[in-house]
Structure 1
Amino acid sequence: MITISDRGLLALGICAAIGLVALALCLGDPAIGPAHAVQALLDASNPLHTHVAVVRLPRALLGLLGGAALGLAGALMQDVLRNRIAGPEILGVSAGAAVALTAVAVLAIPAPLAALPYLALFGAAVAGTAVITAVGPTSDPTRVVLLGAAVSALASGMVIALVSLGTEGNLPLLFRYLLGSLSERGWPHLGVVTPWLIVFIPVALILRHRVAALALGDDVAAGLGISVVPTRVMALVCAAVLTAAVASVCGPVAYVALLAPHLARWILRTASSRRVFVLTPILGALLLASADLVSRIALYPIEIPVGITTTLIGVPALLLALRRQDHAR
């Protein structure tokens, strides 16, 4: 159950998200004051309406929704595998989705925008199935992560091979996509990903009690009446769907899924999965939306792919997580 302190943190996080959206509407070229941004948002005849309502608002909302989904995917994977460095990018799920979408772009496969989440999910499922099959019956989380890293490396090699087949015209866009980017994403992209997230974000939150039991160990979870294998499969499928949906429109944005649960544990000063799950989507949303804002304005007019910004934050966090995990053993 959420405590008063947790409710305060949630309220603070929601206010921060609203503030980020306001900043995203105001900052850029042209820079707009808050009052003018509101006017431009509400008045379709305003010359700035396109900048605010068509370009900046859907991009900011996509950053928030995508970050929330990735944060929950990371929390699910870390708890069901009982490994604090597990995540879509570590276990090959993101790379598998990238292979499928790269093939569509390079080979000019006529796929509608609405079909991209299915293609990304197929690639993620193939990579995830390869890891699960290779792992076999073992529950050793270290072995899972090592095999996931191997599958991810194989998928990355396939991406590079596909990229080498590309033309000069699509290579710049392809490289930008593979690094993860929210550039030129609008309402159609938000419309594609939103139905998936509306369904599977609540599913992830519903699963949090069972996943919390799995985090204590399979024997403990079974003693509490949890069906271990079905719960683990459902959680991993949910995490894969959330990751693939975001990757289909934003590319494989790195380290948000890894970092958001760690930040939640650090802020709450607890490893309780039930509490962490409530705060993680808020933190994931803030991470991706703020990283995208920085990527958009830091070196303007040059825009940095958001995946680079999240990697610059996430790699030190991963090294710190590895060090803390080693000390905990």
Structure 2
Amino acid sequence: MIKQKVRKLPFTIIILLIMIALTAGIALSTGAAAIPLDRILPTLSGYGTFKEQFILIDLRMPRLIITFLAGMALAMSGAVLQGITRNDLADPGIIGINAGAGAAVAVFFLFFPLEAGSFVYTLPVVACLGGLLTAGLIFLFAYQRGQGFQPVKIVLSGVGFAAALSGLMVILLSGSDSRKVDFISKWIAGSIWGTDWPFIWALLPWILILFPFIWLKAHRLDLLALGEPTAIGIGVSVNRERAGLLIAAVALASAAVSVTGGIAFVGLIAPHIAKSIVGPRAHAYLPVTILFGGWMLLVADTIGRVVLEPDGIPAGTVAALIGAPYFVYLLMRK
């Protein structure tokens, strides 16, 4: 059964790439200033008018790339968290890691006299520190001596920390400048705000470093998913492997939400869909997970941007409308 699912991997990847290309074409051609599909490739090749090049290359292409990269990062983070916690409900947004990263970004933005664009490369680092601190506290509360990490406690502790950090941000915003409050409010809603090329260069190194690291640890991820006794019996250093993968997952999620805002459910849904198609082996489902996560967030942002113009609906809100029912389904099933 597993071998049959693994055989679907090349076909699944091809289908996903086609879906991503079609969605990207729709995203680039639609908006306040529509551009025909047959003008996209000539414009990207340098043969478009000034208006076409400005709209596609300066405005829409950076947003498309940053959205796709962030979706990939969130999906990979969710897959790792589900593997190391053995919890199908684990997601960086649901268990509070995104809230920790957001709180760190909010504090940095509110109390440092700098515009967002001037510290674009610092934001992922700040978000990562906030996410790691929150994740450490969540796992500390979810750990039980002699039994290890309790999957249900991880979710409950994460939800509690997310609520507490959301309250903290409300308190911080209550006495802040209205312009900064507007930015943080959009960030909390999951509005893709890092839509310039520098934000891509700020996020890309995290993906280029952490994706290969997780890929090399894929076999360890399979063993950890079997449970601590089995992994220890095989000779896996459980605490060291879990810590390394946890740091990678938190760093990916934090870097992504630092430029896209608070987005949940992408890291929850993508790994489940991937496993249902190609099976539970990490080397098979991880490529499908990241492609599906990137496509899902790209679809959410495109829908939100086109349905309600000119401001649009935040991608995080659209993703939540898609993911919340699935989360309830998993919660009832488990």
Unmatched tracts of structure 2, length 5 or more: none
Normalised to the residue count of structure 1, the TM-score between the two structures is 0.93
Q: Distance in 2 between matches of 1:187 and 1:31?
A: 22
Residue 277, structure 1, aligned to residue 277, structure 2: no
Q: Distance in 2 between matches of 1:104 and 1:89?
A: 20
Residue 132 of structure 1 is matched in structure 2 by 139
Offset at residue 4 of structure 1 (A): 3.4
Paired residue for 1:118, among 118, 125, 146? 125
- How does 1:102-181 map onto structure 2 within 5 Å? 102-110=106-114, 112-136=119-143, 137=145, 138-181=148-191
Amino acid at match of 1:298: V
Offset at residue 184 of structure 1 (A): 5.7
Residue 22 of structure 1 is matched in structure 2 by 25
Q: Distance in 2 between matches of 1:309 and 1:261?
A: 19
Residue 286 of structure 1 is matched in structure 2 by 295
Amino acid at match of 1:214: L
156-165 vs 103-112, which moves further: 103-112
28-37 vs 232-241, which moves further: 28-37
Offset at residue 227 of structure 1 (A): 1.4
Residue 320 of structure 1 is matched in structure 2 by 329
Residue 224, structure 1, aligned to residue 234, structure 2: yes
Residue 252 of structure 1 is matched in structure 2 by 262
108-117 vs 275-284, which moves further: 108-117
Q: Distance in 2 between matches of 1:293 and 1:119?
A: 28
Offset at residue 125 of structure 1 (A): 1.2
143-152 vs 133-142, which moves further: 133-142
Q: Distance in 2 between matches of 1:309 and 1:54?
A: 25
Q: Secondary structure at the match of 2:91?
A: coil
**Deviation digits for residues 67-96 of structure 1, max 9, x if unmatched?**
111111001111110110011122221000
Q: Distance in 1 between matches of 2:257 and 2:126?
A: 10
Residue 50 of structure 1 is matched in structure 2 by 54
Residue 37 of structure 2 is matched in structure 1 by 34
Q: Distance in 1 between matches of 2:191 and 2:276?
A: 28
Offset at residue 131 of structure 1 (A): 1.4
Offset at residue 45 of structure 1 (A): 5.3
39-48 vs 141-150, which moves further: 39-48
Q: Secondary structure at the match of 1:53?
A: helix
Residue 205 of structure 1 is matched in structure 2 by 215
State the superposition RMSD in angstroms: 1.8
Offset at residue 13 of structure 1 (A): 0.9
Q: Secondary structure at the match of 2:122?
A: helix
Residue 299, structure 1, aligned to residue 308, structure 2: yes
Q: Is the 8 A contact 2:8 2:277 kept in 1?
A: no
Residue 186, structure 1, aligned to residue 186, structure 2: no
Residue 69, structure 1, aligned to residue 61, structure 2: no
Q: Distance in 2 between matches of 1:14 and 1:224?
A: 37
**Residue identity (%):** 28
Q: Distance in 1 between matches of 2:94 and 2:50?
A: 46
Q: Is the 8 A contact 1:55 1:184 kept in 2?
A: no
Paired residue for 1:79, among 80, 83, 98? 83
Unmatched tracts of structure 1, length 5 or more: none
Q: Is the 8 A contact 1:106 1:165 kept in 2?
A: no
Q: Distance in 1 between matches of 2:283 and 2:229?
A: 19
Offset at residue 230 of structure 1 (A): 0.8
**Deviation digits for residues 296-327 of structure 1, max 9, x if unmatched?**
101122311111001111111100111121xx
